[in-house]
Amino acid sequence: MIDEKCYKTYLTSLLDGKRSKCRDIVQKLLDEKIDLKRLYTDLFQRSMYRVGKLWENNRITVAKEHLATSITESLLSLAYPSIFAGERIGKKVVISCAANEFHQIGGKLVADIFELNGWDGYFLGANSPVEDTARFIHETQPDVVGFSLSILSNLDHLKQAIEAVRSDFPNMDLLIGGQAFRWGGIDTIKQYAGTEYIQSLDDLEKMISGM
Ligand code: B12
């Protein structure tokens, strides 16, 4: 549980670029054995959505947004000891961002939740070219593939990626997520059989536990 005081202190420190203060807050929460989904959703995601609003309304500069993003990305590694502590279950997931999609934190969090549940998570990062992603999937032979999309105008790139996977792996379980779908696109995704849209890390973990 992250109380408002903790969240506000963290957000102020993030916006001020105080990396060590942010680090201390996150480490304390980890030491208190916080559920990682709460840390990721109620601290990292919530604060980055706030950063987006402030940027959209010209209340912070692009420089501050970039700094907050970079601090957040660096703090994710603090959770690694917990993520890799559990027993491996021999399942693999590949998570990728569509081509031209530069938002990568969401996909990274998703790969971490799979790791937390004993899977080997392969996170390919931002702006992954379709051909290279398909080739990696061939090499890795995962059980599940996930794509992240934040910008709806990248939907065609996502469709190309889905179709590339589908043509070689007709029965592959495909997961799709990301903020793009706040603005539409879910009907397009539903046209692909075996492709599921997942909105939150809570829903993701429920789904993983049933796999
Ligand atoms: C940081 C940031 C950037 C950085 C990203 C760098 C990086 N290393 O990731 C940079 C500077 C590159 C960037 C660029 C742009 N950005 Co930007 N960005 C953001 C910001 C502030 C934070 C993103 C973030 O990390 N969120 C936190 C993560 C944890 O949340 P999430 O992505 O939603 O992920 C969660 C779920 O969606 C889900 N999920 C996500 N992916 C997946 C995948 C699967 C398989 C599953 C199951 C679940 C899942 O699980 C995650 C955890 O709960 C957002 C604001 C916001 N509201 O998020 C704007 C935001 C997304 N950006 C926006 C815009 C407009 C842009 C630009 C177009 C700006 C410009 N004019 O250049 C470009 C587009 C670049 C591109 N082609 O991709 C808008 C989008 C608005 C819209 N209507 O589409 C936003 C919402 C800001 C705003 N309020 O206006 N951005």
Beta bridge partners of 196: 175
- Which residues form the domain of 72? 4-82
Report the pLDDT value the prediction gives residue 155, as an integer from 0 to 100: 98
Q: What digits encode the pLDDT tens for the residues 120-173?
A: 999 999 999 999 999 999 999 999 999 999 999 999 999 999 999 999 999 999
Report how far residue 146's alpha carbon sits from residue 175's, in angstroms, rounded to the nearest whole number: 4
Q: Which residues line ligand 1 (CB under 6 A)?
A: 41, 44-45, 48-49, 51-53, 55-56, 65, 69, 95, 100-107, 109-110, 146-148, 150-152, 175-179, 183, 198, 200-201, 204
Q: What digits encode the pLDDT tens for the residues 181-206?
A: 999 999 999 999 999 999 999 999 99
Q: CATH number for the domain including 40? A: 1.10.1240.10
CB contact at 8 A, 174 and 203 = no
Residue closest via CA to ligand 1's atom 2 equals 103
In 3D space, the residue among 92, 140, 156, 144 whose CA is nearest the CA of residue 118 turns out to be 92
In 10 A of CB 1, how many CB atoms?
Answer: 9
Q: Is the pLDDT of residue 1 over 90?
A: no
Q: What is the pTM of this model?
A: 0.98
Residue where a domain terminates, one of 52, 82, 112: 82
Q: pLDDT averaged over the chain?
A: 97
How many distinct structural domains can be found in the chain? 2
Q: CATH number for the domain including 169? A: 3.40.50.280
Q: What digits encode the pLDDT tens for the residues 111-134?
A: 999 999 999 999 999 999 999 999
